[in-house]
Amino acid sequence: MVEAYQAGILADSGLIAHGRGEAFDYLIGEKTTSYAKTAIQAAAAALILAERPVISVNGNTAALSSPEIVKLANQLNTRLEINLFYRTPKRVEAVEKILKEAGAVDILGTEDEIPVHIKGLQGPRSRASREGVYQADVVLVPLEDGDRAEALVSGGKFVITVDLNPLSRTSKTASITIVDNLVRVMPELRDEVDKLKNKDKNELKILLDNFDNRKNLCNSLKLMAETYLCQDANHVIRM
């Protein structure tokens, strides 16, 4: 991530956000939990069922997972759109470059495009591509910030996010939140898409209907407390 920062892909705040993620990753034992697996399965179902899915890529996502993001986009025939919190032409170019190096050909949200604006947001963060997020029914937005997540959901989008912090506004607002490290999520999500892509649509709808994001977030939070706080407490009592 430091290299990505030096290469201009990340803003300095991106490094701080990464640190927040690492702290929560420690609390889940740095592995994919059963609750994250349930969310990944629901996310795969939603992406397969989507009519106009889009993957929104920011600096952190590009730095951590470009090759996997590009593979997922090809697997689902989904468009990729660059959306940066601190947008500068140079940073957009850096993200575009890393996505192209990973094999992406069709990239939305670049500087030569005339953007449309998402209601409820101000400045460059309100940008969306007319052919991308603006018209999408399902948006995969890993590591998103709360304002944008809220605006997307208010705009009627089905929002799938990846966020290690189950208490963030994004986590609480999204339709599906995968509480896990993006680096571990991407290969799992691609496997799940492969497993589910030939299933009956009704089966996928049932899978999706049975997913309860708030319950899943609560379970992830409980797991964080049980794994560390409660085990430590028992340990103290035994001593």
Residue 164 Cβ vs ligand ATP, minimum distance, rounded to whole Å = 4
Q: Cα(109)–Cα(113) distance, rounded to whole angstroms? A: 7
Residue nearer to ligand ATP on the CB measure, 174 or 208: 174
Residue from the set 146, 153, 196, 221 that interacts with ligand ATP by CB under 6 A = 146
- Are 180 and 200 in contact by the 8 Å Cβ rule? The answer is no
The two beta strands, 127-128 and 116-117, are antiparallel
Within 7-133, residue ranges assigned H as helices are: 12-27, 34-49, 59-76, 89-101
- Are 29 and 141 in contact by the 8 Å Cβ rule? The answer is no
Residue 105 Cβ vs ligand ATP, minimum distance, rounded to whole Å = 26
182 contributes a contact to ligand ATP by CB under 6 A: yes
Phi, psi angles (nearest 5°) of residue 166:
-70, -10
Residue 162 Cβ vs ligand ATP, minimum distance, rounded to whole Å = 5
Q: Cα(146)–Cα(77) distance, rounded to whole angstroms? A: 27
82 contributes a contact to ligand ATP by CB under 6 A: no
Q: Cα(47)–Cα(106) distance, rounded to whole angstroms? A: 19
Contact region with ligand ATP (CB under 6 A), list: 115-123, 130-138, 143-151, 216-224:
143-151
Site for ligand ATP in 47-66 (CB under 6 A): 60, 64
Contact region with ligand ATP (CB under 6 A), list: 39-47, 76-84, 164-172, 204-212:
164-172
Residue from the set 108, 162, 208, 217 that interacts with ligand ATP by CB under 6 A = 162
181 contributes a contact to ligand ATP by CB under 6 A: yes
Residue from the set 93, 113, 131, 145 that interacts with ligand ATP by CB under 6 A = 145
Strand stretches in the chain, DSSP E:
53-57, 79-82, 107-108, 116-117, 127-128, 138-140, 158-162, 176-178
Tell me which residues touch ligand ATP (CB under 6 A): 17-18, 20-21, 24, 60, 64, 143, 145-146, 162-165, 168-170, 181-182
